């Protein structure tokens, strides 16, 4: 039999280096303590495509085939709702008036309540229309096509406002509150505070349990709360002092509460004056000695951070779907103009500069729409692990919507800049999407760090395996064989072309190469930086971008393949978009993965740090004027 040392000697040098990484590897918090072998066996494999990407592994469970989440009854129900939703925007709602008045008329709001638009996913027994995520995504797309301000009013209510009750409420909490939020009472999600933005765990609002244990007394304030001035029902995150039963030490842990304005002590500031989404209500909310009954804790004391994160993860596809709709209407405006505008004797749609814009705008919309329905479909089919994909989708959708709207304005030229065209409102509205529900900067780091932690965890697993090789021979053999074949050039690049329509094979192979390159790059970075990688944000951002490009490629390939196989009318068009997208995404990925390893780039990053330091020290642009005064 082959000895373990022989196996190691067959592998590339990195493998040997890993096992010496005792002090440097990531994920030490989750290290096995007592029985490593047992833990290794029990470790559940991740089904997330993106998580596995960081190990260079193909995990297609949640990407191919494109999820089909609606049965024929659900499709019929949805079709019956599409017209009333569209008609509402065509006949009742006036986005220009909403924007001008920074409000929505009561009559308009009431029509939305009557339509069931505020309780799309609430089960019918509580007064909602009981739709699933995919159905919600389709309706929200219509909202985003027409009025993002109204979208925020609806989304703050149900995508996050009462989502915690829907997902985690006890039967009593659901009975009591879901009936109300489906019947005219607004809900809001209250996390952000003056000193707690991206650092969601740092809330200062406190809730202290009464001596008799019947209630908590809550004090604190929240800022920028969508629907904050209108809501009666709040999901509030507050720190609760908790005694550790073992050490007796008291620590403060974030806890989620359902707070009813009727408890008393809940007030709000006046509506904020904003750049866009003006008709949605955004306000400060204050909690002063609010008596919150003990039974209004969501999930449990100290579980609030995870509750907040999971609500946000769960709601993000709504934003993605809405922005898919927004991009559709921007593209429609741009194309209507390009088709009829004649310059230099030809309609401008015949010029390459405009064609490239229209093609890129269309691809961004196609990718965004595919992401929205990929995630919502997976969630409907029972996926529990989509946090990285939801974060990627939010980042991609919000940046694409900004880009598409900007390019639409560019195509319309001076006309695009005029208020009457309606694109400047959309531009103001979409700007916030890169900021709220987790800034894109934070979400990029979240994607990169979570993925790296997963890869680091695997390396650590190997380390542990080598401490007790007899018990972990399977794992060691598997890894060694993988590395050995790669070392002698026999390792195969991950391929999934056989799962797709044949005309997409080349694109699938390109994407497969990106996946392989990704895993190798992460490995090299872990070896080089160890734990210190967490501080290398220039690198992390580029890894996140490569993850975005690779995940979006697989998603569009999956969708285009399904369209080709089902011979749907737009299949050809979709496959061209998918191919172009994958080709450019693979080039960007190759570039980004090269940059993170190149000494020259590291030098440039350091120079950028110097520039930033200089400017920050001076407190303004640091150079003198060319005139010297």
The residues annotated with a catalytic role in the active site are 437
387 binds ligand MYA (CB under 6 A): yes
Minimum distance of ligand MYA from residue 536's CB (angstroms): 16
Minimum distance of ligand MYA from residue 309's CB (angstroms): 4
Sign of the Cα torsion 301, 303, 308, 311 reads negative
Contact between residue 395 and residue 387 where contact means Cβ atoms under 8 Å apart: no
What letter would DSSP give residue 45? Answer: P
By Cβ distance, which residue is nearest to ligand MYA?
155
Please enumerate in sequence order all residues whose Cβ is within 8 A of that of 90, keeping only pairs 6 or more positions apart, or say none. Answer: none
Residue choice 47, 82, 442, 503 for contact with ligand MYA (CB under 6 A)? 442
Burial bucket for residue 47 (CB in 10 Å: 0-12, 13-18, 19+): middle
Alpha carbon distance 190, 600 (integer Å): 45
Helices 571-595/537-565 angle, 10° precision: 160
Alpha carbon distance 629, 618 (integer Å): 16
Using CB under 6 A as the binding rule, the residues of this chain from 129 to 148 that contact ligand MYA are 140, 143
Alpha carbon distance 215, 263 (integer Å): 11
Using the minimum distance from each CB to ligand MYA, give the nearer residue, 381 or 442.
Answer: 442
Contact between residue 148 and residue 276 where contact means Cβ atoms under 8 Å apart: yes
Instruction: Identify the three-state secondary structure at position 233.
Output: strand
Residue choice 137, 154, 430, 547 for contact with ligand MYA (CB under 6 A)? 154
Stretch that binds ligand MYA, among 152-160, 474-482, 496-504, 538-546 (CB under 6 A): 152-160
Residue choice 156, 218, 480, 556 for contact with ligand MYA (CB under 6 A)? 156
Alpha carbon distance 14, 1 (integer Å): 24
Using the minimum distance from each CB to ligand MYA, give the nearer residue, 158 or 550.
Answer: 158
Binding mask 74-113 for ligand MYA (x = CB under 6 A): ----------------------------------------
28 binds ligand MYA (CB under 6 A): no
Residue with tokens 């029902």: 233
Using the minimum distance from each CB to ligand MYA, give the nearer residue, 389 or 516.
Answer: 389
397 binds ligand MYA (CB under 6 A): no
Minimum distance of ligand MYA from residue 524's CB (angstroms): 23
Alpha carbon distance 317, 159 (integer Å): 9
Using CB under 6 A as the binding rule, the residues of this chain from 288 to 347 that contact ligand MYA are 305, 309, 312-313, 318-319, 322
Contact between residue 274 and residue 196 where contact means Cβ atoms under 8 Å apart: no
233 binds ligand MYA (CB under 6 A): no
Minimum distance of ligand MYA from residue 531's CB (angstroms): 14
Structure-token pair, residue 230: 């209108």
Stretch that binds ligand MYA, among 192-200, 355-363, 374-382, 509-517 (CB under 6 A): 192-200
* Distance from the Cα of residue 49 to its chain's centroid: 14
Stretch that binds ligand MYA, among 430-438, 488-496, 549-557, 610-618 (CB under 6 A): 430-438
446 binds ligand MYA (CB under 6 A): yes
Residue choice 141, 185, 399, 437 for contact with ligand MYA (CB under 6 A)? 437
Contact between residue 231 and residue 187 where contact means Cβ atoms under 8 Å apart: yes
Minimum distance of ligand MYA from residue 493's CB (angstroms): 30
Alpha carbon distance 354, 397 (integer Å): 22
Peptide bond between residue 65 and the one before it cis (omega within 30 degrees of 0) = yes
Residue choice 57, 59, 121, 159 for contact with ligand MYA (CB under 6 A)? 159
> Where on the chain is the footprint of ligand MYA (CB under 6 A)?
140, 143, 151-152, 154-156, 159-160, 189, 191-192, 198-201, 226, 305, 309, 312-313, 318-319, 322, 387, 436-438, 442, 446
């Amino acid at each position: 039999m082959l000895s373990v040392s022989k196996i190691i000697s067959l592998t590339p040098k990195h493998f040997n280096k890993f096992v010496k990484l005792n002090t440097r590897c990531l994920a030490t918090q989750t290290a096995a303590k007592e029985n490593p072998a047992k833990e290794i066996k029990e470790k559940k494999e991740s089904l997330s495509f993106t998580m596995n990407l960081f190990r260079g592994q193909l995990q297609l469970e949640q990407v191919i085939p494109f999820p089909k989440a609606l049965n024929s009854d659900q499709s019929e129900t949805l079709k019956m709702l599409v017209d009333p939703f569209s008609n509402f925007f065509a006949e009742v709602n006036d986005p220009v008036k909403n924007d001008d008045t920074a409000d929505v008329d009561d009559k308009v709001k009431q029509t939305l309540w009557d339509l069931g638009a505020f309780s799309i996913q609430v089960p019918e027994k509580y007064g909602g229309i009981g739709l699933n995520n995919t159905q919600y995504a389709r309706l929200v797309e219509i909202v985003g096509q027409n009025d993002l301000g109204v979208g925020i009013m609806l989304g703050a209510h149900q995508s996050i406002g009462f989502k915690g009750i829907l997902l985690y409420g006890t039967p009593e909490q659901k009975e009591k509150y879901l009936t109300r939020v489906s019947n005219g009472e607004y809900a809001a999600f209250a996390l952000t505070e003056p000193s707690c933005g991206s650092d969601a765990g740092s809330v200062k609002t406190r809730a202290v349990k009464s001596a008799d244990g019947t209630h908590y007394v809550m004090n604190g304030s929240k800022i920028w709360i969508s629907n904050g001035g209108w809501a009666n029902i709040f999901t509030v995150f507050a720190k609760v002092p908790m005694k550790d039963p073992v050490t007796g030490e008291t620590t403060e842990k974030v806890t989620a509460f359902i707070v009813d304005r009727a408890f008393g002590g809940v007030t709000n500031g006046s509506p904020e004056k904003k750049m866009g989404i003006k008709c949605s209500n955004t306000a400060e909310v204050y909690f002063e000695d609010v008596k919150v009954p003990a039974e209004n804790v969501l999930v449990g004391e100290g579980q609030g951070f995870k509750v907040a994160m999971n609500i946000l993860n769960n709601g993000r596809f709504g934003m993605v779907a809405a922005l898919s709709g927004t991009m559709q209407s921007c593209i429609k405006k741009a194309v209507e103009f390009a088709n009829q505008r004649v310059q230099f004797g030809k309609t401008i749609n015949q010029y390459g500069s405009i064609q490239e814009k229209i093609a890129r705008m269309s691809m961004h919309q196609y990718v965004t729409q595919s992401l929205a329905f990929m995630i919502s479909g997976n969630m409907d089919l029972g996926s529990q692990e989509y946090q990285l994909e939801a974060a990627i989708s939010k980042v991609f959708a919000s940046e694409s919507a900004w880009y598409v709207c900007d390019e639409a304005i560019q195509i319309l030229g001076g006309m695009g800049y005029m208020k009457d065209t309606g694109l400047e409102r959309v531009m103001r509205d979409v700007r916030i999407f890169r900021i709220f529900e987790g800034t894109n900067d934070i979400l990029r780091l979240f994607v990169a760090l979570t993925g790296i932690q997963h890869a680091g965890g695997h390396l650590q697993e190997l380390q542990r395996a080598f401490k007790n090789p007899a018990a972990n021979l399977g794992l060691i053999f598997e890894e060694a064989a993988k590395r050995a074949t790669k070392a002698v050039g026999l390792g195969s690049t991950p391929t999934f072309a056989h799962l797709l329509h044949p005309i997409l094979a080349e694109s699938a192979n390109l994407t497969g190469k990106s996946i392989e390159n990704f895993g190798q790059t992460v490995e090299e970075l872990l070896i080089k930086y160890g734990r210190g990688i967490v501080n290398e944000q220039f690198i992390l951002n580029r890894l996140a971008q490569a993850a975005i490009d690779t995940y979006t490629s697989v998603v569009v390939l999956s969708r285009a393949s399904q369209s080709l196989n089902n011979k749907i009318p737009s299949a050809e068009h979709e496959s061209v978009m998918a191919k172009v997208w994958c080709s450019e995404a693979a080039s960007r990925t190759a570039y980004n993965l090269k940059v993170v390893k190149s000494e020259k780039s590291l030098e440039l990053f350091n120079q950028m740090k110097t520039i930033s330091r200089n400017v920050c020290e001076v407190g303004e642009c640091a150079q003198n004027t060319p005139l010297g005064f």
